[in-house]
Amino acid sequence: MKTPDVPISSDGATGKACLPTGKILLVGDISKAFFDADTITGNSCALCSRLSDAINAAAKNNFTAIGVVMAGMSAKLSSALRALREANSNAKIILLAQMYEEPIARQFVSPASNGTKVADDYLICPVQVNTLYASIMPAKEFQQAEAAATAAINVKLESRIKHLERLATTDDLTDLKNRRYIWEFCRQILEHAKKENGRVTLLIFDIDNFKHYNDLYGHSVGDKILKQAAILMQRCCRAHDVVGRIGGDEFAFVFWDSAKGFQPKTIGPEAERRSATADHPGEVIFIAKRFRKELEKAELHLLGPKGEGVLTISGGLAGFPRDGSTVQELFQKADKALLQAKRSGKNRIYLVGKPQSDIADIK
């Protein structure tokens, strides 16, 4: 008796068990033989509920193996098995027996006086489909099939994990990072900055009068405006900075530089020496200004031929270590500066502090 402990494998796409070379004929009620009978398809196995039909099928097809479910079969099973052997002498006959049927199955696989056997092997059921396949296929071939199936599972699983990670960290409308990601990234980069004497600047902003666009042109147009703004944000920021959508029309940039480690090239007109005690980095101010200009120049073709308007933003800048040392402190300070910008007429970005600290006044 062979009852190898072979786990079910999958092809990575359909979840069906890995198949041996050639086709198998299964005879009887397979639900009584296999835990995973639902994985068996007509592409891999021919199914016959009656022995008489199975004998005809065996005579017409060159099966690799014939699996016979003993449960429910007639007392003439011995003669039927001999007929199957005669109909397809090359096929390996496997009996699928319940535990109480094992003594009978053992007799069928025992050689007769002339050396012939009615059946080649038997399995105690219920079993997994791959257990049957393992008893049919050469060990090396089955191991290769198992390895291929396992590799396919791993590829699919890895893809699924990446997809779930993306759903957990990405805003599905704009494809920017979401609030959860921005918050955690900011926390981690602050820890890094504390060790490396680096600097982190948080810019929070929203689109001025965005509700007006939604009310006048509909939410679908509003969504397209947010997507367009997201594309501009990604074009303006540096490769190592992070930009995300943290609310309806509210966004955040996380700018960071390390004094000892990573030193990105400046994109501003002049390079500057990193110093944790200096004011906001000049290139951050440059990026924020450039984004404002790009947004104001954006064509609002989404609003139709008669659509008019200019997209403007109001925002607030807060930096570590000058304005705060935790994520909460930076968000609170940046939010406060954003409110000052709104109250002072919108279309401006304020530094933390006095209302006149508009970045437009910084040369």
The per-residue pLDDT for range 290-336, each reduced to its tens digit, is: 888 887 776 665 555 444 556 788 888 899 988 899 999 999 999 99
24-153 CATH choice from 3.40.50.261, 3.20.20.140, 3.40.50.720, 3.40.50.2300: 3.40.50.2300
Residue 10, pLDDT score: 34
Residue 144, pLDDT score: 56
**Whole-number Å distance between alpha carbons of 112 and 244:** 77
Residue 295, pLDDT score: 77
H helix intervals, the chain: 51-60, 77-87, 102-109, 129-136, 139-169, 179-196, 210-217, 219-236, 282-297, 327-343
Q: What is the mean pLDDT of residues 208-229?
A: 84
pLDDT tops 60 at residue 267: no
**Two structure tokens written together for 118:** 């009615």
Give the architecture (CATH level 2) of 170-361: 2-Layer Sandwich (3.30)
Q: What is the dihedral of CA 92, 95, 96, 99, to 10 degrees?
A: -140
Confidence of residue 116 (pLDDT cuts 50, 70, 90): confident
Q: What is the mean pLDDT of residues 202-213?
A: 86
Confidence of residue 360 (pLDDT cuts 50, 70, 90): low
Residue 12, pLDDT score: 36
pTM: 0.52
Nearest Cα neighbor of 275 from 297, 259, 293, 254 is 259
List pLDDT tens digits, range 71-103.
877 667 888 899 998 998 888 899 998 887 888
Confidence of residue 140 (pLDDT cuts 50, 70, 90): low
Domain with CATH 3.30.70.270 in the chain: 170-361
Q: Beta strand pairing status for 24-27 and 45-48?
A: parallel
Domain with CATH 3.40.50.2300 in the chain: 24-153
Average pLDDT over the chain, rounded to whole?
A: 76
Q: What is the dihedral of CA 186, 189, 190, 192, to 10 degrees?
A: 170
> Residue 206: which H helix or E strand, with range?
strand 199-207
Q: Which of 13-17, 140-144, 355-359 has the lowest mean pLDDT?
A: 13-17
